[in-house]
Amino acid sequence: MTVNRRRTVSASDAPQPVGAYSQAVIHNGLVFTAGQIGLDPSTGEMASGAGAQARRALRSLDAILMAAGSSCGAVLKVTVFLTRMSDFPEINTVFEEFFDMPYPARSAVAVSELPLGALVEIEAVAGLEEESC
């Protein structure tokens, strides 16, 4: 019997973990990412505004997925955390820049606060098949 072991993923083009977590974990052919916020990994600065933060977070997710041997095209499920649900239409527009039809499943949850004062945090689950974004 073959046992699938989990392995972690690290991408230099995404913010490095600041706590006891991995950027992503691969297990049984799936990639589970940690939540990403709009932090620029090269400057450490937060993008300005919900749309820009979502765009930066999705770029980080893309880098992590690529390091795992996956891509935006293989994303199955996305969870979006927002401090203001009124930002949802802007976030939805940004998603169309990164994902093609058929779109991944998605949940959007309003929260009172996110790390470093972020307005948006995004996590994903993807398969390991390689497809382009």
CATH number for the segment(s) 7-14+22-126: 3.30.1330.40
Which token pair is 127?
Answer: 């398969």
5-14, 26-35, 74-83, 85-94: the lowest-pLDDT one: 5-14
**What's the pTM value of the predicted model, to 2 decimals?**
0.91
Amino acid at 79: T
Peptide bond into 15 cis (omega under 30): no
Bridge-based pairing of strands 120-127 and 75-82 is antiparallel
**Could you tell me which residues come within 8 angstroms of residue 14 by beta carbon, excluding any fewer than 6 positions away?**
23, 36, 41, 59, 60, 61, 63, 64
Closest CA to 10 of 71, 60, 80: 60
Per-residue pLDDT tens digits for 67-109 = 999 999 999 999 999 999 999 999 999 999 999 999 999 999 9
